[in-house]
Amino acid sequence: MAGERPHSFTHHGITVEDPWHWLEDEDYPTVDDEDILAYLEAENDYFEASMAPYQDLIDTIFEEIKGRQPGELASLPRRRGEWYYQWRYGEGSQYRQWLRWPASVPDAREGPPDDAEVFLDEPHLAGDLEYFRLGSLSFSNGASLLAYSTDTDGSEQYTLEIKDLATGELLPDRIERVRGRAVWTPDDLSFFYTVLDDNGRPWQVRRHVLGEPVGSDAIVHEQPDAGLFVWVSDTASRKYIIVSEGDHATSERRLIPAEDPTSEPILVAPRRAGHDYSIDHQGDRFVIMTNDNHQNFRLAIAPEDDPTEASWETLLHGSDSLYINHFHLTEQFVAVEERIDGLDQVRVIDRAGNSTHIEFPENAYTAYISSDPEFDSDTIRVTYTSMITPSTVFDYHLDAGELEERRVQEIPSGYDASQYVTHRALAPARDGVEVPVSIVRHKDTPLDGSAPLYIYAYGAYGSAVSPSFSTSRLSLLDRGFIYAVAHVRGGDDLGYHWYEAGKLFQRTNTFNDFVDVAHYLVEKGYGSEGRIAISGGSAGGTLMGAVVNQAPELWGVVATQVPFVDVLNTMLNADLPLTPPEWPEWGNPIEDKVAFEYIRSYSPYDQLKPGEYPPLLATAGINDRRVTYWEPAKYVAKLRAVKTDDNLVLLRTDMGSGHGGRSGRSAWWYETAEQFAFILSSLGLVE
C-alpha cells in the first residue's frame, strides 16, 4: 500500500489535502523516481499474484477470443489511383504487412497476385521492441514515395520517415515529434505535416521540401494558445490543403491551393466560440458541415471562387431529429453519415440535390462509411453491424443505388446469430429524460434477475457508443451474462444536445443516467443489485469512479482502463499536455471558482470516502500523456486507505506503453481475458 505524505494546496480560498501527490513524478514525462517506480512495480507484482489462481481461466478465455479471429486476416482491397492496397496479418503475427499491386492486373479488385509488393512490414519494424504502433501512411501523388510514422513507447509522439518504394531505402528526411499524416504537394517534392510542442500538443503545421534540412522547414501555421490543436489534411479532390485548428467545441479552417503551396492560406470562417465546421472540395464547389444555425449541423455548399461563410447555401438542414455526423465526397455525390432519432443512417445526395437513404435490415444497428472513396469512384464502402450481426462490408453502387456484399466477418470457431437476442430499451432517468440502452444476451439466459449483468458506457466528448458486434463479448454471453450499453448523456448518441447535456456544468447527468439505467435493468429482471459488472475507460473511467461513489451497493465489480479519476488536480495543472484544450469540456477551475467546486463535487479521487466498495481493477500506461499514470495510481492508493471491506483492488501499470495499452493484436485479447477473469472471479462465477 502506498503511504501518505502530507501535501495540500489552496485555490479560491479552498484548501485541498492530497497525501498521494508524491506519486506524480516531478520530471514527467520522464518517470525515474525510485519510490514511484518501486510502488508501481509492487502493484504489478500484487496484480500477478492475485490473478495467478485464475491463470487457467485467463488462458481459456484468451483461447476463446483468439479462436474467433482468423489466423491470417486481411483487409478488403482498396483502390487508390493506379494501385490496389491491402494490409494483412500473417498466421500468429502481432502486426500487419502492407501490400499493393497494379490496378491493371486481372481481378485486381478481388485480391493480391502472388507477386504483390510488400511496401511496409510492421513485424520487421517492430522487431523486439516492447511497444510499436504505426501512426499514418501517406503516398505521394505519383505513388513512388511513402511517408509513414511510428510510435515506439506509447507516448503518441510519432517519428515520420520517407521511403523510396522503388529502392526500398529510407530517405534522410526523418522528422520527430509529429502527429497525423503527411500531405503531399502535387509535384511530390514537398509535404505538409503537424508538429508537437513540448507538452505533446499539435501546435504547428510545417512544410518540408525533400532533401532540405528539417530545421529549415517553413512554418505554415502556428497556434500558441495552449487550448487549441492544429492539424493538416487535404480535400477529396486533392486540389486544396486544409489547415485546421480548434478545440472540442470550436474550429477554424484555412485553405491552400495545392498547386501553390507557398501561398498565403485562405481563411474560410474566423473562429468564434461554439462554431464548429469542416470543409471539403468537390471539383467545382465546396461542401461545408456547420452548426451555425442548428446544433445538429447542416450541410452547405459554396462556389469554388468564394468558400467564405457569406457564400454558404444550405444543401441539407439538420433538425432536432436529424443529426449530421460526417460527410464524404466523390466527384458526383455527397455521402452523409447521420442519425435520425438516434439511429444510424447513410444518405447519398446527387448533384441535382436528390437524396437517398441506404436501407439496412435491422432496427438497431451501426452503419458507417468505412473509408474515403476515390474522388472519381462510383462506389462507397459501407460497414454494417449490430449487437448480434458480425461486421459486414458492402460496396454501395452510387448510380444503381444497390448494395454489393463484399465480406462478412469470419469467426473460425463458429457463431450462430440465432442463439442470441438483442433489443433497444429506454430507461427513465431521475429528471424524466429517457436514456437508450442496447441489450444483448444468449436466448436461453433468463430475465428473472438471476443472470449477471455487464454494463458499459463512455459518456464524454460527444463520442457515441454504437450497438456493434464483439467477438470477445461472446465469452461473457456464453457464460450467462446479459450485456448492456448505456447511451448516457455526454455522448452524441441522440444528437449534439445529448452531448451538451453531459458536459461542463451538466456533467453529473452522465453519472446519474448510468445509475438510473442500472436501476431500470434490475427492475426489469436483467440483473440484481450487487451482481452488476461495470466498465469504462479514460473519460469513461471518470464515469466509473463517480458511479462507484454514488451507488457502491449496486456494483459487484468494476473494471476501468486508464481511468481519468483525478479530474480536479489535472484540470488545475495547465502544464499537462491536454489540460487547456480540455477546459471547454470540463471547465476551467483555475479561473472559475464555480467550476472548481463543481468538478471537486464529482471528481472520483476527491470524493472517495470511508465505506464499502466493490472489487476494482484499474489499468495504466507509464507513457500515457492523455491520462497520466498517477491518476489510477493515486486513486487505487486512496481507495485502499478509505475502504472498510476486504474486496480486492488491483492496479496494473504497463511500463512500456501509453493510453492505448499494449501493442499487438494478441496483447489486447490477453488484456481482455484478464479483465473478464477478474470480473468472473469477483462475482463468484469461477468453477
Determine how β-strand 453-456 pairs with β-strand 482-486: parallel
Greatest alpha-carbon pair distance for the chain in Å reads 74
Q: Are 460 and 539 in contact (CB under 8 A)?
A: yes
Can you tell me the distance from the alpha carbon of 369 to that of 394, in angstroms, rounded to the nearest whole number?
A: 10
321 is catalytic: no
Query: What are the angstrom distances between the C-alpha of 56 and each of 263, 617, 622, 670, 673?
Result: 63, 19, 28, 12, 11
Q: Output the CA angle 449-454-455, nearest 5 degrees.
A: 110
Bridging pattern class, strands 313-316 and 453-456: unpaired
Q: How many residues does the chain have?
A: 687
- Choose the catalytic residue: 538, 657, 681, 682: 538
Residue 440 backbone dihedrals phi, psi, to 5 degrees: -140, 145
Q: Is 284 a catalytic residue?
A: no
Classify each residue of 233-263 as buried b or exposed e, where b means 16 or more C-beta atoms within 10 Å of its C-beta: bbbbbebbbbbbbbbbbbbbbbbbebeebee
557 contacts 578 by C-beta, under 8 angstroms: no
Among 217, 659, 663, 681, which one carries the catalytic annotation? 659
Which DSSP string do the residues of 236-260 spell out, in sequence order? Answer: TTSSEEEEEEE-SS-EEEEEEETT-
Cell of 669: 485479447
| 624 is a catalytic site residue | yes
In 363-475 the beta strands, taken as DSSP E runs, fall at 366-369, 379-385, 392-397, 402-408, 420-428, 434-442, 453-456
Active-site residue, from 25, 247, 516, 624 = 624
Positions marked catalytic = 538, 624, 659
